[in-house]
Amino acid sequence: MLVHVKNVLTAEEVAYCRGVLESAEWGDGKATAGQQSAKAKHNLQIPQKSPQCRELGELVLRALGRNPTFTSAALPLRVFPPLFNRYDTGMYFDAHVDNAIRPEPETGYRIRTDVSSTLFLTPPEDYDGGELVIRDTYGEHSVKLPAGDLVLYPSTSLHSVKLITRGSRWASFFWTQSMVKDDGKRTLMYEFDQAIIEIRKSLPDSHEGVLGVTGTYHNLLRQWAEL
C-alpha cells in the first residue's frame, strides 16, 4: 500500500526545518545504510545524534501524532527517530530494500521496519529529477510531492531515488513498526477506516450501522495487532 499523506508539516514548520538544516553539518549518507545499500547510496545526511537531527525529529514526530491519515495507514507501534537527507545535483540512490531491523541510536532497542516514509521538505519546482520510485506488483510508482507532504509505503518494496539534474532535494525519512505487520491486513484496515469516515459523514455516530462497522474495525484490530 502506497499512501500520500498531505500537509504533515505546515508551511511555517517546513521553513523552520529548512532554516535549521541550512546551518547543520552534512555528512555522507552511507553512515546509516546497510552493507549492500551503502554501495547504491549517493547523498548527504545530517548526523543521527546531532542536536539538529534530534530537534527536527521531535518536530516531525509531533506532526505525525496529530495527523489522522498517517495513524490510519501506518497503525504505528513505534516510529524510528526521523533522519534528514539531501540530494544535490548528481546524487541518487539506486534500487534497494530497507533493512528489516534497525536499532534505536539512544536505547539500542530494535525496531522492525514495516513501513517506510519520506517527508518532502523541498518544493518540487526547485529541483529536477529526485523522484522516489517505488516498485510493487503493479509496476513502478514515481513520487515527487509538495514540501510538507509525506509518502508511506511497505518497507519490503524495492525503491530508488532518481538522479538529481538540477537543484537540491531535502527530506526527512524514517521507519515505523506497525501494530499490524502484514501489509495486506494493514491495507484492509486502512480502507476499512476510510470507509467508516465516509459513512459517518451521512449517519450519526449512534446509528446501528456506524456502531456495527466501527465495532468490527476494532475487533479486527484487536485480533491482528501485535503489541
Max CA pair span of the chain: 58
Residue 38 predicted with pLDDT over 80? no
Residue 159 assigned to a binding site = yes
C-beta neighbour count of 166 within 10 angstroms: 10
What global pTM score does this model have?
0.94
Model confidence pLDDT, tens digit, residues 139-166? 999 999 999 999 999 999 999 999 999 9
Question: Across the strands, what pairs with 110?
Answer: 103
Q: What is the mean pLDDT of residues 122-148?
A: 96
Q: What confidence score (pLDDT) does residue 65 get?
A: 97
Q: Give the model's pLDDT for residue 128.
A: 98
Q: Could you tell me the CA-to-CA distances from 227 to 115, 126, 184, 223, 224 in Å, in that order?
A: 16, 42, 18, 11, 10
Instruction: Determine which of 45-49, 121-125, 129-133, 213-217 has the lowest per-residue pLDDT on average.
Output: 45-49
At 29, is the pLDDT very low, low, confident or very high (cuts 50, 70, 90)?
Answer: confident
Q: Locate the domains of the chain by residue range.
A: 3-178, 183-224
Neighbours of 225 (CB within 10 A): 16
pLDDT at 108 over 90: no
- Ligand-binding annotation for 207, yes or no, is no
C-alpha cell, 168: 537540491
Q: Is 26 helix (H, G, I), strand (E, B) or coil?
A: coil
- Residue 221 pairs in a beta bridge with none
Question: What's the pLDDT band for 34 if we cut at 50, 70, 90?
Answer: low
pLDDT at 35 over 70: no
Give the pLDDT score at 98.
Answer: 93
Is the Cβ–Cβ distance between 158 and 98 less than 8 Å? no
Q: Running DSSP on this structure, what letter comes out for residue 156?
A: T
Q: Report d(CA 186, CA 183) in Å as an integer.
A: 5
Lowest mean pLDDT among 33-42, 136-145, 215-224: 33-42
> In the predicted model, what is the mean pLDDT of residues 67-79?
98
Please, what is the average pLDDT of the chain?
95
Q: Which residue, chain included where needed, has cell 549492500? A: 36
The pLDDT, as a whole number, for residue 107 is 84
Question: Is 98 annotated as a binding-site member?
Answer: yes
Please report which confidence band the pLDDT of residue 137 belongs to, taking 50, 70 and 90 as the band edges: confident
User: In the CATH hierarchy, which fold is given to the domain comprising 3-178?
Assistant: Jelly Rolls (2.60.120)
Among 13, 69, 45, smallest CA distance to 172 is for 45
Q: Strand pairing partners for 222? A: none
